[in-house]
Amino acid sequence: MRLFAASVLIIVAASPALAQSTQIAQNLPFPAVYDPTSGYDVQDGTFSDALQSDGSYFYSQAIGQSFSVGSGQSSTITDVSFWGSSEYLQSSTPWNQTVLSSNIISMQIAILRTDTGTSDFPIVHSWTIQTGQFSQVLTGNYTAETFSPVFRLSTVLAGNFTLNAGNYMITIGGVLNNPDGDSFAWTDGLADGSVPATQAYATVGDTPTEWGTWIPISDGTSGAFELNGVTVPAPGAVALLAMAGLRGRRRRGM
């Protein structure tokens, strides 16, 4: 399990004529590889702390993945799924666990704006959700080296927060009870950061001058997630739809 990560492949959904639930961005998990020593199918992951930790946890790092909302689009976020695992430092058989470690009391999911021209990306919205409120589904795969089970975690993101056109980054990290205890690891996605659109960032350090300053990472790994929402038609599209409805009524009235 690594202490550093890289990038994300973003698939941005095209805006449909009518608002409907769709994927805003996704980076599916990198396929598991069979480990002949353990007999398990394993995946890599990277430790990622909640931004609100301010770098005070053992690993003192948070990972973020870039994505964009296209010109003329806006999307209201509805829910998120992601893949991850945790340490079980007090367990000699971590592979038997069926939920994330109880030391991870919440998960923080934050959206940051990256087209600011600086390395200090502002948070545009954040959710902190108790771990027990997530759907935690065992994938049947395990994290390399620690053999902790990998979960697909899903939750609703309340608040009807809307993203307008622009460049963003999603960060996902654990809120810990014991800062030196079991931490969250974000499972690798398919993206490798080989093009600028798949750039990932990290903030590292346990001092105020370091934490919150983002640096680009390019070691070929990324966090697996799906961000979903409702795509809102541009004002011009809404006006055209309304005019089409009026024309239809006029024809029926003749």
Determine the pLDDT at residue 234: 60
Query: Are 4 and 205 contacting, i.e. CB atoms less than 8 angstroms apart?
Result: no
CB 207 within 8 A of CB 191: no
- Count Cα atoms within 13 angstroms, Cβ side, for 247: 6
Q: Give the DSSP H/E element, type plus range, for residue 248.
A: helix 235-253
Q: How far apart are CA 129 and CA 115, in angstroms?
A: 27
Phi-psi region of 219 (alpha: psi -120 to 50; beta: other; left: phi over 0): alpha
- Report the alpha-carbon angle 172-40-48, nearest 5: 15
pLDDT tens track of the chain, all 254 residues? 666 533 333 434 433 333 457 899 998 999 999 999 999 999 999 999 999 999 999 999 999 988 888 888 899 999 999 999 999 999 999 999 999 999 999 999 999 999 988 889 999 999 999 999 999 999 999 999 999 999 999 999 999 999 999 999 999 999 999 999 999 999 988 887 777 677 788 999 987 789 999 988 877 778 899 999 998 766 544 333 333 333 333 333 43
Say whether 244 sits in a helix, a strand or coil.
helix
Alpha carbon distance 47, 2 (integer Å)? 7
Cα 254 to the chain's mean position, in Å?
54
C-alpha distance from residue 77 to each of 9, 51, 57, 193 (Å): 19, 20, 29, 25
Task: Tell me which DSSP letter residue 89 carries.
Answer: T
**For the chain, where are the E strands, in sequence order?**
21-27, 33-35, 40-43, 45-47, 61-86, 104-113, 123-130, 135-143, 149-156, 162-176, 184-187, 200-204, 215-217, 225-232
Token pair for 207 = 């001092």
Range list of H helices, 163-210: none
Residue whose token pair is 């769709």? 22
* 171 torsion bin: left (phi>0), alpha (psi -120 to 50), beta (else): beta
